[in-house]
């Protein structure tokens, strides 16, 4: 009942978007001939430093509580209520910014451009979830990330998807991560923020397109739990890697597994690894041959990926505003506008920079994209190679265990386990 | 401690060291940097743009005003 109430409440808040999504400026601003100037628009002050520090404290508190609820208390209900809090505080109250997902771009930009001053709160929002993941698994994804928790609340009828499809789609976040890093490193754009499907919901100012995209994600999320987290989130890809080294991690059973199989289909994210019988283990010569083959294939994939990425460097660079401006000036296309000079060209002419300087700058950016294309392509090749390895490596397992990488620590599986910490089994009627 | 746990703790230590190094470098750079912002594409999404006095922000705001008035 409480869960339904929470969902209804969130639906009401999200439905407020419709008003903004269809809003248009009804008439242009009047131009006064009497010399009257329009008063400046009154805008709220930027967030004070004290509040920014408070946000970091709330983040630490939320991470600690969720980690305790997941690892120690093993409470799904507790995680659910923390999710509601995260959506309300980090989502609607803080308007989803700074979020840890987007902060990886700020970190990249700061690393590649020493003159960029990154706020300490942004560093904290990037580092803290990774540290907690290193010790307790992806508890940030479970109940602190506003993007993930919003989708989690809407996962009402989750359906399992084929494991091969899960693996293939699981490559997308790594590609997105590579692209986001490339665009941030070259000071081109923050693509994660630009195409964040839920930020418009939180700020109550979604454009029609983003409102539709966010809505579609939530609708898909009813049947395929957390589609953005599993198949797109670049920070999730990072936490996926880090979580594999976590010191403590949620376990399905608090004591010895009794192989009752109740938890087998409990995970909406397909993150439970089933036991593998010893008799299924392949012979050693076959495994060695596979290892040798993969050792050759992975460097080859990195090379091919790098070469392919480098071939697309001009296409990738065309997103950069300076490269675009140089192209428009060079081809005299005026951004496709026919009636008047494009605003960007007017601004460039007013700035007093010469065309040669702009062309040199654009050429330097394109060169950065060439090297970046090699690295991005090589990275994607590596991800493909490692996915192949994970599909072909034999792992002997006796119990049902959460996959440390893909498990989002939501604690749903815990409710299915009849084993008590004292090794007693709950007997239901 | 078995082999897997040993490797895991080495990985954990490496990641922690990396995170510490990154934070250290960024905080050190921040303390040395003067207040500059040359990343005009950020202005578009910046929440402090209304009160920002950086030249890039002023140019950006003028441009936006001009565009709105057209």
Each residue of A130-157: pLDDT tens digit?
999 999 999 999 999 999 999 998 898 8
The winner for highest mean pLDDT among A322-336, B13-27, B42-56 is: B13-27
Whether the pLDDT of residue B40 is over 70: the answer is: no
Taking an 8 Å cut-off on Cβ atoms, the answer to whether A131 and B16 are in contact is: yes
Nearest to B51 among A45, A113, A246 (CB): A45
Structure tokens at A192: 């994660």
Angle between helices A146-153 and A2-15 (to 10 degrees): 120
Residue in A with minimal Cα distance to B10: A245
B47 to chain A, minimum CA–CA distance in Å?
7
In a 13 Å sphere around the CA of A177, the CA atoms on its Cβ side amount to: 22
| Rounded mean pLDDT, A248-263 | 88
ipTM comes to 0.79
A7-11, A173-177, A211-215: which has the highest mean pLDDT?
A173-177
- Which of A247, A321, A343 lies at the smallest CB-CB distance from B12? A247
Contact between A284 and A353 (Cβ < 8 Å): no
- Would you say residue B57 has pLDDT above 80? no
How many of the other CB atoms lie within 10 Å of CB of A380? Answer: 23
Higher-confidence residue: A289 or B32? Answer: A289
Q: Which chain B residue is nearest to residue A404, measuring alpha carbons?
A: B8
**Average of per-residue pLDDT across A169-190:** 94
pTM confidence score: 0.82
Chain A residues with CB within 8 Å of chain B CB = 28-29, 31, 43-47, 97, 107, 109-111, 113-118, 120, 123, 127, 130-131, 134, 187-190, 193-194, 242, 244-247, 321, 343, 347, 351
- Angle ∠(A261,A266,A271) on CA atoms, nearest 5: 100
Alpha carbon distance A238, A138 (integer Å)? 10
Asked if residue A175 lies in contact with residue A233, where contact means CB atoms within 8 angstroms, the answer is: no
User: Which residues 6+ apart lie within 8 Å of A51 measured at CB?
Assistant: none
């Amino acid at each position: 009942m409480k869960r339904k109430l929470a969902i209804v409440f969130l639906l009401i808040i999200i439905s407020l978007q419709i008003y903004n999504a269809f809003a248009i400026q009804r008439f242009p601003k009047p131009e006064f001939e009497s010399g009257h100037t329009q008063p400046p628009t009154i805008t709220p002050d930027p967030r004070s430093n004290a509040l920014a520090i408070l946000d970091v404290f709330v983040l630490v508190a939320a991470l600690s509580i969720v980690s305790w609820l997941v690892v120690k208390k093993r409470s799904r209900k507790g995680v659910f209520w923390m999710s509601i809090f995260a959506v309300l505080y980090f989502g609607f109250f803080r308007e989803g910014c700074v979020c840890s997902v987007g902060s990886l771009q700020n970190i990249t930009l700061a690393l590649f451009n020493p003159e960029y001053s990154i706020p300490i709160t942004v560093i904290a929002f990037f580092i803290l979830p990774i540290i907690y993941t290193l010790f307790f698994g992806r508890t940030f994804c479970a109940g602190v990330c506003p993007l993930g928790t919003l989708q989690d609340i809407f996962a009402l009828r989750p359906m399992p998807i084929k494991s091969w499809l899960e693996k293939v789609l699981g490559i997308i976040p790594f590609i997105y991560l590579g692209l986001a890093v490339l665009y941030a490193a070259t000071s081109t754009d923050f693509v994660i923020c630009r195409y964040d499907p839920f930020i418009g919901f939180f700020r109550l100012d979604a454009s029609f397109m983003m409102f539709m995209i966010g809505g579609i994600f939530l609708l898909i999320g009813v049947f395929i739990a957390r589609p953005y987290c599993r198949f797109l989130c670049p920070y999730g890809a990072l936490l996926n890697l880090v979580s594999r080294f976590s010191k403590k991690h949620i376990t399905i059973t608090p004591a010895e597994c009794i192989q009752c199989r109740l938890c087998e289909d409990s995970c909406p994210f397909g993150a439970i690894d089933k036991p593998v019988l010893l008799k299924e283990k392949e012979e050693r010569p076959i495994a060695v041959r596979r290892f040798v083959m993969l050792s050759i294939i992975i460097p080859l994939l990195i090379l091919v990926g790098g070469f392919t990425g480098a071939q697309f460097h001009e296409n990738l660079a065309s997103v950069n505003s300076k490269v675009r401006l140089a192209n428009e000036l060079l081809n005299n296309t005026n951004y496709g506008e026919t009636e008047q000079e494009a605003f960007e060209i007017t601004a460039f002419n007013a700035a007093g920079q010469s065309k040669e300087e702009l062309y040199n700058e654009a050429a330097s950016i394109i060169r950065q994209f060439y090297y970046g294309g090699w690295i991005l392509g090589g990275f994607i090749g590596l991800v493909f190679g490692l996915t192949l390895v994970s599909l072909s490596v034999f792992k002997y397992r006796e119990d049902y265990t959460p996959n440390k990488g893909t498990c989002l620590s939501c604690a749903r599986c815990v409710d299915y386990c009849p084993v008590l910490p004292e090794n007693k089994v709950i007997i239901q009627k | 401690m078995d082999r897997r746990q040993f490797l895991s703790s080495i990985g954990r230590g490496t990641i922690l060291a990396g995170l510490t190094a990154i934070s250290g470098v960024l905080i050190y750079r921040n303390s040395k940097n003067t207040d500059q912002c040359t990343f005009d594409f950020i202005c578009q999404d910046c929440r402090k743009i209304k009160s920002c006095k950086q030249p890039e922000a002023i140019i950006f705001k003028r441009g936006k005003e001009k565009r709105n008035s057209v």
